[in-house]
Amino acid sequence: MTDTSIYAGRRARLAAQLGRDGIAIVPTAPERQRNRDSDFLFRHDSYFYYLTGFTEPNAWLLLAGDGRATLFSAPKDLEREIWDGYRLGPDAAPAALGIDEAFSVADLDSKLPKLLENKSTVWYPFATHKGLETRVDGWLQSVRARVRFGALCPEEQRDLCGPLDEMRLVKDAHEQDVMRRAAQISARAHIRAMQLSARMLREGKDVREYHLDAELLHEFRLGGSQYPAYSSIVAAGANACVLHYRADVAPVHAGDLVLIDAGCELDSYASDITRTFPAGGKFTGPQRALYDLVLASQDAAVAATKAGNRFNDPHEATVKVLAQGMLDVGLLDANKVGSVDDVIEKRAYFPFYMHRTSHWLGMDVHDSGSYVEPTQVGEVSERKDPLSNEIIKNRPSRILHPGMVLTIEPGIYVRPGEGVPEQFHNIGIRIEDDAIVTATGCELISRGVPVNGDEIEALMR
């Protein structure tokens, strides 16, 4: 386990925002049954981990506004530990985790009302634990039963996600270090998958998407990663045009592109990398033309990623390059859609680029943190969406600060359709890297796997 002072520091910063008479309730994730005696693989709750560094299931943190931290955790139980594994137990928890006191989770319902008594505000995450409000309600009922004896019952309930999301948005040095290592492992896995594809095809083997998926998993675990940060996408040929495709059994043909979107989770932090490569190791002309266009759009987005710029700037830079490129290569017909400005204004690029360029990255692959600039939430403007005709309310996009981490992931997806040049049919390309914002630009932590088309061909030879 890491130095407990990291978690103590975060708890102190959070406690300072709860109010002197505030108290926060933070459960870890529930265990989920898969079937009969099998559970889904347990993954702790990100908020809970952020404040404790504790990965056992069945645990709760109570944090009071004065900074006092109380843990409820699974009690020592030899029989359960023989079946399910080691438990820290409440007796050892204070020293091991640097918290003030700990009790068995079996005492949660009996002790919680006492902890909530005489507080003014109860904070808990509104967005992540279905049914938690009912439990809080039950504990508050117990407090109310004691008001005749002079107890005060909290009158206010507030969403803990707000302050925690803001804290999580800017990654400290420890988090950045873990994220760099996660991205390095994932980069190696992408290289291995590319090389396996070319090697098996050279050997005349029947290559399937799952072969490449297996290679990714192998390298993730070899690097010490606990599990993939999300379901890996390994999409051969036309499957690349399905945005949430999963690695399946489809054959990988030498002339096709393969799109792999896969990243490992290391010590609770995600990486998220996409590479698109020619299965046999050599791009065709049309594939390379679109590939270089997506890469140029990513270059523009990377150049727009720096402190002081806004979260939307990389997306807008991407769209500008893609829109011009779609006109240049003939995916869009200027006679029909007009100039590049018209393409952007009318979102005519949307049939080929239908997702955003970035999302926050951290403990969750789509990490927490507002995409709106908090100092400007009141500045609302309206515009009519040219495709849906809906009125969209816009608020100024988030200003980037050093330590924020985001993905930069432009793409082009060409489904066959009227007027769509046949040479581009069924080509799906995305290039995704992970960027730490710095004062002067950004650090691309996922470039252990190349993006340049020539470099990809070279490593597959």
- Residues binding ligand GLY (CB under 6 A): 230, 261, 272, 359, 365, 409, 432
Rounded to 10 deg, the angle between the 453-460 and 285-303 helix axes is 120
In whole angstroms, how large is the CA radius of gyration of the chain? 25
**117 versus 209: smaller Cβ distance to ligand GLY:** 209
Which of the choices ligand GLY, Mn ion, none does residue 257 contact, using the CB cut-off of 5 to 8 A by kind? none
Helices 173-202 and 209-222 pack at an angle, to 10 degrees, of 140
Query: What CA–CA distance (Å, rounded) separates 361 from 417?
Result: 34
- The verdict on 213 binding Mn ion (CB under 5 A) reads no
CB nearer Mn ion, residue 256 or residue 272: 272
Contact partner, 56, from ligand GLY, Mn ion, none, Cβ < 5-8 Å per class: none
Could you say which of 34, 36, 244, 461 is catalytic? Answer: 244
| Nearest distance in Å: CB 181, ligand GLY | 19
Query: Between residues 175 and 432, which has the closer beta carbon with respect to Mn ion?
Result: 432
Residue 213 interacting entry, from Mn ion, ligand GLY, none, C-beta within 5 to 8 Å by type: none
Which of 20, 80, 144, 366 is the catalytic position?
Answer: 366
The values of phi and psi at residue 103, to 5°, are -130, 165
Residues 390-409 interacting with Mn ion (rule: CB under 5 A): 407
In whole angstroms, the minimum distance from the beta carbon of 234 to ligand GLY comes to 12
Q: Where are the beta strands (DSSP E) in 210-292?
A: 227-228, 233-236, 257-262, 264-266, 269-270, 273-278
Task: Identify residue 344 by its one-letter amino acid code.
Answer: I
Q: Which is nearer to ligand GLY, 230 or 371 (CB)?
A: 230
- The catalytic position among 209, 261, 267, 457 is 261
Would residue 422 show up in a list of annotated catalytic residues for this protein? no
CB of 186 vs ligand GLY, minimal distance in Å: 11
Write down the residue that tokens 């098996």 correspond to: 200
- The answer to whether residues 153 and 140 touch, using CB atoms and an 8 Å cutoff, is yes
Of residues 56 and 409, the one with the C-beta less far from ligand GLY: 409
Mark the segment that binds Mn ion (CB under 5 A) among 185-193, 210-218, 270-278, 290-298. Answer: 270-278
Distance of closest approach, residue 408 Cβ to Mn ion, in angstroms: 9
In the annotation, is 432 catalytic?
yes
- Minimum CB distance to Mn ion smaller for 235 or for 279: 235
Q: Which of the residues 219, 364, 367, 432 is marked catalytic?
A: 432
308 contacts 284 by C-beta, under 8 angstroms: no
CA–CA–CA angle 122, 125, 130 (5° rounding): 115
Tell me if 354 sits within 8 A of 388, measured CB to CB: no
**Rule CB under 5 A: is residue 261 a binding residue for Mn ion?**
yes
Choose the one of ligand GLY, Mn ion, none that binds residue 230, judging by a C-beta under 5 to 8 angstroms depending on kind.
ligand GLY
Contact with Mn ion (CB under 5 A) among 256, 267, 272, 313: 272
Per the residue annotation, which of 209, 256, 265, 272 is the catalytic one? Answer: 272
- The neighbouring-strand residues paired with 412 are 429
**First vs last Cα of the chain: how many Å apart?**
42
What are 259's strand-pairing partners? 235, 276
Q: Is 359 labeled as catalytic in the residue annotation?
A: yes
Contact 103, 74 (CB under 8 A): no
Q: Find the shortest distance in angstroms from Cβ 433 to ligand GLY.
A: 11
Structure tokens at 373: 């600039």
238 and 428 in contact (C-beta within 8 Å)?
yes
Q: How far is the CB of 352 from ligand GLY (least distance, A)?
A: 17
367 is a contact residue toward Mn ion (CB under 5 A): no
Choose the contact partner of 265 out of ligand GLY, Mn ion, none; CB within 5 to 8 A by kind.
none
Distance of CA 48 to the CA centre of its chain: 16
Q: Check binding of 433 to Mn ion (CB under 5 A).
A: no
Q: What is the closest distance, in whole angstroms, from the C-beta atom of residue 262 to ligand GLY in the complex?
A: 8
Distance CA 258, CA 279 (A): 6
Contact 52, 151 (CB under 8 A): no
Active site residue 37: yes
Phi-psi region of 291 (alpha: psi -120 to 50; beta: other; left: phi over 0): alpha
Q: Which residue has the tokens 């890491």?
A: 2
Please say if 355 is a catalytic residue. yes
Residue among 213, 409, 433, 434 flagged as catalytic: 409
Q: How far is the CB of 242 from ligand GLY (least distance, A)?
A: 13
- Residue nearer to ligand GLY on the CB measure, 69 or 229: 229
Using CA atoms of 242, 338, 322, 293 in order, give the dihedral in degrees to the nearest 10. 100
Would you call 313 a catalytic residue per the annotation?
Answer: no
Residues in the chain: 461
Q: What does each C-alpha distance from 451 to 299, 337, 429, 454 come to in angstroms? A: 11, 31, 12, 9
Please check whether residue 405 is in contact with residue 435, taking contact to mean a CB–CB distance below 8 angstroms: yes
Residue 192 interaction partner, one of ligand GLY, Mn ion, none, beta carbon < 5-8 Å per kind: none
Which of 268, 324 has the CB closer to ligand GLY? 268
Catalytic residues: 37, 244, 261, 272, 355, 359, 366, 409, 413, 430, 432
Which residues contact Mn ion (rule: CB under 5 A)?
261, 272, 407, 432
